[in-house]
Amino acid sequence: MSASENAPVIEIRDLTKVYRMGEVEVHALKGVNLTVERGEFVAIMGPSGSGKSTLMNIIGCLDRPTAGTYRLDGIDVSRLDRDQRAEIRNDKIGFVFQSFNLLARTRATENVELPLLYGNLGLTAPERATRSREALARVGLAGREDHYPSQLSGGQQQRVAIARALVTDPAILLADEPTGNLDSRTSEEVIGIFQDLNDAGKTVVLITHEPDIAAHAKRVVYVRDGLVWRDEKIVQARAKHPDAAAATPGGEAEPAVAFPFTIATPEEVVR
Amino acid sequence: MKASVSALRFWNITKVGLMAISRNKMRSLLTMLGIIIGVACVITMVAVGTGASSSIQATINSLGSNFIMIFPGAAMSGGMRSFTGESKLTPEDVTAIKAECPAVAYASAGTRTNAQVVAGEQNWGTQVWGVDVDWPFIRAWNVAEGDFFTDVDVRSSSKVAVLGATVAENLFPNGDAVGSTVRIKHVPFKVVGVLERKGGNMMGQDQDDQIIAPYTTVMKQLMGTPRINLIYVSARSANEVGQAQIEIESLLRQRHRLQGAQESDFNMRSQEEIASTSAQTSRTLSILLGSAAAISLLVGGIGIMNIMLVSVTERTREIGVRLAIGAKGRHVLLQFLLEAIALSVVGGAIGVGLGLLIPNLVTRFAGLPTQVSSGSVLLAFGFAAAIGVFFGFYPARKASRLDPIDALRYE
């Protein structure tokens, strides 16, 4: 691949997306510029209708921009066709969804192997199984390889999904509201895994509308009206454990008000 | 390297499809039911049809070689014969045919009546056929015990009889028929022989349920008419059957004083004509049953398409996930197509199993002869597989064209 070690993982320039809804043209993105370096942990936030989902679909190579360029891991992917995008998704992107999207009645290890079935790596069944086990071990599910999704808790299912995203060793992990279906304790657990993976060098892009989830990232990008409205580095030490949040004054009691990081009233923006 | 990667991927996708089927066993079985029934039907129908036509062939061959039958009354269209008037055939016609037709080897008068037959305390209702001494040669039917009656018996109208195997069994359970006396319509006949067993004819009638006696005796003692019901003829060889028919036609027209365009008062059927009529009938039957089976296969195929469409809709999210993690449209197409093919092939295989079993049961319990042909098995199985491809393609294509974003969002 043409990816150089120094190139940004995501480099978006003047990206626009226009949908035609009958007679009406909807400008979902109106010229987005965004650069994500290798090893970053970025949260993308924005109210519904902000263009956040459209941006995520384009970053995930599920959709193509109307104009502008998008270089993923050094490759211009903005003009690729359906099949080429499928290959890029398999190779460069690990998806984590809000509703886990595991195949029912399929063992954890088989779920994790799924991306390897479509890839160009040409792995044999034992090689795939080994990589699947390694990925499950990285998310703390060693010993549960043969469990079915129905035998796992929500947090464990999401961890299987993260392992599935990891198994191809992608350039970015793209998580769309990964804690949306989880309670707050499990959310912390799952977000902790993303933090651990990021600490190990993985680039993570997290789409969320929950400020206290976004707070775990190193950088927060706000999208509003089809534009990047605000792009902030989080200066506060990361809250790695619930205890850390509680240590912040007023943290545990009213987390929605007392943010453990210092940016100007993001919640007003989000609402 | 490239080839081995795609071969590996093909196998992986095949496994994915098979996994989906085994996960939904009950539904898969119900989906396959149409194909199972269709395939089993095709094989069974063809087996029954083939069995029937080969048994018809066997009984036609048992009529005797180079066999021609002359019936009284004009021939009707379509090979149907309907005769209500009095027979114009006489014993003298038979004598003339024998004497004047060079292509004819044997000829015998035939006259028939129904009668109640008594032997000691046993009592049996059957047919009595009056024939000549040529009859065993024409029908290729020999006596199993005793002797056939002689020319002298015919000329002197002796009261002698040869019993069919069924009649002998019923009247003489102890097997002492030859030499005994039976009373036919109160007239005592001496039993001189018992015929070999021949079994049912193509109408399913028991050919062994009859008594054979000299036609002279039957006409005088039992019927009281100078006319006969039938003339049996055997041509010298298979090649001379047509020639014999021409000779008989002109001789009988001359003897019955029929002018140029006048309709004949008799008609003839050769063994081949009888055979081809029944072959036609059984062929029509086979086509009819075969098309019924084909329709059930078609319905089975539509069932597969229906379930595959349901399955595609139901698994929209799954398709979305597969597309998102890097499956290409053709991978999804292949997966669903293979699933449909697997359904129809497994269904077809079960159908073949039943198709091999059912004809046996039909033979055992319904007594119908059956013959499973490998051609019908291959045809039915191939058709089932083709149905999988044909009816699986549309749902599979639909799945492969889904937009991953919409599919992931599908509730």
Of B264, B289, B313, the last residue of a domain is: B264
* Percent of chain A clearing pLDDT 70 (strictly above): 85
Same domain, B260 and B281: no
Outline where B62-102 has alpha helix (H).
Answer: 91-100
Q: Which pLDDT value is given to residue B296?
A: 81
Residues of A in contact with B326 (CB under 8 A): 86-87, 89-91, 115, 118-119, 168
Parallel, antiparallel or unpaired: strands B122-131 and B210-214: parallel
Among chain A residues, the shortest Cα distance to B321 is held by A101
Same domain, B161 and B38: no
* A82/B329 Cα distance (integer angstroms): 8
Is the residue at B271 inside a domain? no
User: Residue A223 corresponds to which tokens in the numbers above?
Assistant: 């999208």
pLDDT of residue A68 exceeding 80: yes
Contact of B119 with B181, CB cutoff 8 Å = yes
Which pLDDT tens digit goes with each residue over B225-246?
A: 778 888 999 888 888 888 898 8
A87 touches chain B (CB under 8 A): yes
Domain edges within chain A: 10-270
Q: Which pLDDT value is given to residue B82?
A: 52
Instruction: State how far residue A213 is from chain B, nearest Cα, in angstroms.
Output: 22
* B338/B344 Cα distance (integer angstroms): 10
Same domain, B245 and B282: no
Q: Which residues of B touch A (CB under 8 A)?
A: 1, 4-5, 8-9, 12-13, 16, 19, 23, 317-318, 320-331, 404-405, 408
* A174/A9 Cα distance (integer angstroms): 12
Same domain, B128 and B200: yes
pLDDT of residue A260 exceeding 60: no
Which residue range(s) make up the domain with B194?
Answer: 89-264
* Percent of chain B clearing pLDDT 70 (strictly above): 92
Is the residue at B182 inside a domain? yes
Size of interface A-B (CB pairs under 8 A): 66
pLDDT of residue B356 exceeding 60: yes
Same domain, B253 and B286: no
**Highest averaged pLDDT of the listed ranges A141-155, A248-262, B44-58, B284-298:** A141-155
Q: Which pLDDT value is given to residue A255?
A: 39
* B54/B50 Cα distance (integer angstroms): 6
Same domain, B140 and B175: yes
Supply the mean pLDDT for chain A: 85
Is the residue at B74 inside a domain? no
* B183/B61 Cα distance (integer angstroms): 33
How many domains does chain B contain in total?
Answer: 2
Same domain, B49 and B95: no
A140 touches chain B (CB under 8 A): no
Which pLDDT tens digit goes with each residue over B81-134?
A: 555 567 788 888 988 998 888 989 899 999 888 888 988 888 888 989 999 998
Outline where A139-178 has alpha helix (H).
Answer: 154-166
Which pLDDT tens digit goes with each residue over A193-241?
A: 999 999 999 999 999 988 989 999 999 999 999 999 999 888 655 555 4
Same domain, B160 and B244: yes
Same domain, B298 and B385: yes
pLDDT band with cut points at 50, 70 and 90 for residue B294 = confident
Same domain, B369 and B251: no
Same domain, B351 and B318: yes
Higher pLDDT pick, A202 / B279: A202
Instruction: State how far residue B28 is from chain A, nearest Cα, in angstroms.
Output: 16
Supply the mean pLDDT for chain B: 84
Find the range with the poorest average confidence among A145-149, B41-45, B193-197. B41-45
Is the residue at B272 inside a domain? no
What's A10-270's CATH class? alpha beta
Is the residue at B77 inside a domain? no
Which pLDDT tens digit goes with each residue over B2-15?
A: 455 566 667 777 77
Q: Name the residue among B300, B388, B301, B404 with its Cα closest to residue B336.
A: B388
User: Residue A262 corresponds to which tokens in the numbers above?
Assistant: 């210092």
In SS3 terms, B166-214 reads as HHHHHHCCCCCCCCCEEEECCEEEEEEEEECCCCECCCCCECCCEEEEE
A81 touches chain B (CB under 8 A): no
Same domain, B295 and B222: no
* B61/B55 Cα distance (integer angstroms): 10
Is the residue at B252 inside a domain? yes
Q: Name the residue among B110, B136, B124 with its Cα closest to residue B216.
A: B110
Three-state SS for A76?
strand
Amino acid at A248: T
pLDDT of residue A162 exceeding 90: yes
Is the residue at B73 inside a domain? no
